[in-house]
Chain A
Amino acid sequence: MSSGTEKDIEVKDTTEEHSDNSENTAKSDSMSKGEAKKFYEEKGLDLSPDVPVKPKPVPIFEKSLADKISSKFGDKIRVDYVRADRIRVTTKREDIVDVAKFIRDELKYDHAESVSGVDYPDSSEIEVIYHLGSYTDEKLGRQIFALATRVPREDIPNPGSDTTRTPSLRDVFYSVEFHERECFEMFGVYFEGHPDMRRLLLPEDWADIPPFRKDFKIKGR
């Protein structure tokens, strides 16, 4: 087992993490950061964000939900943000099943809307985000709970046989079944404990790397 599996998620301040990402992504592209800056300057564009940073008040109801989960798990989870109708929580992959069970049983979220993978080649990680919603609880109708975890990423992927794996939430939320299959073929994240981890959308004879990773380039772009 490589050291990558043991690597913990670095708990950072949100703004720091994002600025890290932006620098790294610019580097990872075909042009370096300096080139990119030059490219945008030539076009008369600035690289500063367009969005004016406005502090928004933290909504009370969402805050109470976030407090509930952080008081239960403490250090194991990190609340990334609490906004109107949206909460995002990051956890380590070892704890994700427990956290998911708590979210289902105590917070009354009952289904998954989507399972997204996001590839971060620079920190050598793939983020898996479960967007959870609720049909049964009237108050949670407009809420989306984003539960994220990070799995190590290998430069030469071998889907299913490498360290890019995480426990499946299929037994907790039945509705993630096909979403996890899609995430497996598109990012190479193997979900342990999933009963039917086959390809879904890609053809049977697909022999390239998982196509939604950042190092899979579209031709002509």
Chain B
Amino acid sequence: MTTQLPPGMHLETVDDKIMTLNVGPQHPGSGHMRLIIKVDGDYIVSCDPDPGYVHRGEEKMAEYRNYIQNIPHLERPVIHDSSNILYPYCLGVEELLGIEVPERAKYIRVIAAELNRCIYILYWLAIYGIFLGHSTMFMWPAGDRELFIDLLEAMSGARVTHAYLVPGGVRNDLPSNFEERCLRQVEYFEKRLKEYEAIFYQNPLLKARTEGSGILSRTDAIRLGTTGSVLRASGVDFDVRKKEPYDVYENLDFQTIVMKEGDSYARSRVPYLEMFESCRIIRDALKKMPKSGSVRTKLKPNPKGGNDEVYRRVESGRGAIGYYIVSNNRPEPYRVKISVGSFRNLICMPYLLKGEKLGNMPAVYWGLNYWPVEADR
């Protein structure tokens, strides 16, 4: 007897040879999500990602708060990269409300975004290290991350959730000795990055393990709509900072990191090389920044958008983040949709893990630059 199942439900067939593993949500190698993995011996037959354990309905919440109240909660999906996830929201709201941002504020926003990108990538790298069983690579980036956290604390007053970028500029001006301090720490950090290269990226065991595993070809990377480091590791030269420069990125000197291999090693290396570029951007922005001036255009209280919609995107640590904001003459947005890099890269997971060895699962999974909380929003 077969019963008609409602759409969205499915029955599972069981095979004796195949073992189903629930990687997550209580698993040291999963994060706040579940991968339903079927293994035949040591080989993964299929993988079904099951996110949603930290779905908080940020988009729904945004419909109930006005444009300013939305700032603190919209950065919650990625507290390590909070400037970058707020950036497109600020850009979009500025476009909706027709606000001009002061020149100095644009540079400060870029510096905050790049510092935050380094914080995120260091955190990601730390987890990548421990996923591959390299405990030193867990401790070093986690320690060096403190440098940038201290810098952003001096800028914004908060260690992790800064809420520093607001529509119309930044919340407050830089502290007095910021420029000198930032340059010193960036210089030290570049030295440390070279040590990472020696202990981690040139490690023969790491290379043997990640090179050639989970290969995503250029065609597939485009077809699957991946973004961020995954896309650039597969040989597509696409960076929103270059292609659609927002604020002052077109004035700044940096280049896009592209690797052709498309394997786990390339995916782990692209974000690392991007940190060098971030340091370059920070240096350049500090040099070109106007030394004084206003940093924030004051908004009207409870500002209202017109009957309009806007789609703005930036490049975050995990790829492009796009905000689709619909407004309808009310102080609250009618609809906010956040298109995040993690969610867009999620589609690669069943694709890449199929036929892969179980031992490659952590490297492939974390190489996708996937942040479960952000994907769930």
Contacts and interface: CB of A to CB of B under 8 A. Distances in A.
A, B bound = yes
Interface of A: 15, 18-19, 21-22, 25-26, 43, 45, 47, 49-54, 85-86, 88, 110-114, 116, 118-119, 129, 131, 135-136, 141-142, 144, 146, 159-161, 173-179, 182, 184-185, 190, 197-203, 211-212, 216, 218, 221
Contacts of A129: 324
Contact of A160 (B6, B10, B61, B344): B6
Contact of B329 (A49, A114, A173, A221): A49
Nearest to A45: B302
Interface stretch (B116-124, B194-202, B306-314): B306-314
B179 interface: no
Nearest to A111: B225
A201 to B, nearest CB: 3
B344 A175 contact: yes
B280 interface: no
A52 B303 CA distance: 13
B303 A211 contact: no
Given A50-B98, A86-B311, 12 more contacts: A18-B307, A45-B301, A113-B227, A116-B335, A129-B324, A135-B236, A146-B311, A184-B8, A199-B8, A203-B52, A212-B57, A218-B60
A144 B324 CA distance: 11
B282 to A, nearest CB: 24
Contacts of B344: 113-114, 175
B116 to A, nearest CB: 22
A159 B8 CA distance: 9
Nearest to A21: B328
Nearest to B222: A135
B303 A50 contact: yes
A198 B8 CA distance: 4
A173 B225 CA distance: 9
17 contacts: A21-B334, A22-B307, A22-B328, A45-B301, A50-B97, A50-B304, A86-B311, A113-B227, A131-B322, A160-B6, A160-B8, A174-B224, A174-B225, A200-B51, A211-B57, A211-B60, A218-B57
B7 interface: yes
B18 to A, nearest CB: 19
Contacts of B64: 218, 221
Nearest to B10: A198
A135 to B, nearest CB: 5
A141 B59 contact: no
B346 interface: yes
Contact of B305 (A49, A54, A159): A49
A116 B52 contact: no
Contacts of B97: 50-51
A51 B55 contact: no
B326 A49 contact: no
Nearest to B305: A51
A141 B244 contact: yes
B238 interface: yes
A142 B243 contact: yes
Interface string B244-261: 100000000000000000
Pairs of residues from A and B, 5 with the lowest C-beta to C-beta distance, nearest first: A175-B225, A160-B7, A18-B307, A114-B339, A201-B52
Interface size range on B against A: 35 or more
Interface in B1-29: 6-10
Interface string B325-339: 010111100110101
Nearest to B238: A135
B358 to A, nearest CB: 23
Interface in B264-313: 300-309, 311, 313
A142 B344 CA distance: 18
A112 to B, nearest CB: 6
Contacts of A203: 52
Interface in B131-159: none
Given A113-B320, A141-B238, A177 B347 contact: yes
B231 interface: yes
B222 A54 contact: no
Nearest to B328: A22
B357 to A, nearest CB: 25
B139 to A, nearest CB: 34
A146 B311 CA distance: 9
B300 A21 contact: no
B232 to A, nearest CB: 10
B326 A51 contact: no
Given A114-B322, A135-B222, A142-B244, A218 B61 contact: yes
Nearest to B63: A214
A170 to B, nearest CB: 11
Given A114-B337, A175-B344, A200 B7 contact: no
Contacts of B60: 211-212, 216, 218
A20 to B, nearest CB: 9
B37 to A, nearest CB: 17
A131 to B, nearest CB: 6
Nearest to B322: A113
B302 A18 contact: no
Contacts of B226: 175
Contacts of A211: 57, 60
